[in-house]
Amino acid sequence: MAQIKIINVVGARPNFMKIAPLMKEYLRYPEISPILVHTGQHYDYQMSESFFKSLGIKNPDYNLEVGSGTHAQQFGKIIERLEPILLKEKPNLVLVVGDVNSTAACAITAKKMNIHVAHIESGLRSFDQEMPEEINRIITDHISDLLFVSEKSGIKNLKKEGISSKKTYFVGNVMIDTLINSLPQIEKSEILKKNNLENKRIVLTTIHRPSNVDSKEKLEKILEILNKIEKNSIIVFPMHPRTKKNIELFDLMEKFKSLKNLLILDPIEYLDLIKILKNSWLVITDSGGIQEEAAFLKIPTITIRKNTERPATITCGANIITGLNTKKIASQIKKISSKKYPKIKNIPLYDGKAAKRIVSIITKKYNA
């Protein structure tokens, strides 16, 4: 049996939930030698290490320690620092997940060395190239050899872009694998108790996109939106470092803090976040992953973006796109609060088995 050496890449917070089920599944295959590379794009304990702990991911074999910086700086450092590792390890495959800078930078490095690339969460498109993630998705998909798609729209998008269907596999969503695997531990989380949230009406909000938090005007709009939420609800807002930095920069923290029903928290670890999400009646977010997790848990979601690359969350009835249109948001909040929305349906292949499908496809291809 030939050994299959796979270099797995993580870099930023949403990557950790996606790699966890794959690392676990590899253990069932003696022919696979997995190596884990962390680019270091995210480095704070709460943005990185806490996820390794709660998800039981092994320590990275390599850490590129690239840290924060401009897009060019992050890409440059990742490419330069990954190359010698690939030269030394000579993997059969470099596997990247999601759409962050680390994803595209590592895919480019590998492909330039004629190493095969597998992309998990392929085919998603917001059709908005002002989003850095959209550029990362397009670059990564077009140079990948194996494209693993999480929702049906991805298959259609890749076909339209001329990517051969021979390379494309509809396998489901690895992040939902992690959620399903973690449910027993999520139940045990004490986060509600710790923050006096038990039996409260909770609204979870997470906001970190540059398009929402990099301008004072947009942050003021967000404040206005949060103000529209009924006062008998507690708004739980785990604050991304980028959001916090900008709220402080624009001198708005006092205004946010003056909202009596707003609970601002530091970024929270995965199991605690899902515990809060599961117990919320409404989610207001601009995150990609939370749209999917909320849809799986059937929690109504208002996405304060102009678009989503995850249309399955809309067609299943969980998610609505509002941008920062305060009128539209206020009317949606009312509808959701009075439960005037159709039943939320299951999304195909959100079934906890995506990692199993992916690893089985990889072994068949590289063991042949």
Question: Bridge partners of 206?
Answer: 285
Pick 63 or 337: Cβ nearer ligand UD1: 63
d(CA 16, CA 33): 19
What are the start-end ranges of the H helices in the chain? 13-26, 49-55, 71-89, 101-112, 132-143, 152-160, 174-188, 191-194, 210-213, 216-227, 241-249, 253-257, 270-278, 288-297, 312-315, 326-337, 354-367
Pick 25 or 293: Cβ nearer ligand UD1: 293
Q: Which of 42, 116, 208, 240 is catalytic?
A: 208
> Tokens at residue 363, please?
């072994």
CA 24, 62, 101, 236 dihedral sign is: positive
Pick 26 or 140: Cβ nearer ligand UD1: 140
Interface with ligand UD1 (CB under 6 A): 12-14, 41-44, 47, 68, 99-101, 132-133, 208, 240-242, 245
> Tokens at residue 239, please?
């604050």
What are the start-end ranges of the H helices in 161-215? 174-188, 191-194, 210-213
Tell me the closest approach of the beta carbon of residue 255 to ligand UD1, in angstroms.
21
- Residue 208 is a catalytic residue: yes
Pick 63 or 92: Cβ nearer ligand UD1: 63
Pick 47 or 274: Cβ nearer ligand UD1: 47
Burial of 288 (0-12, 13-18, 19+ CB in 10 A): buried
The residues annotated as belonging to the active site are 208
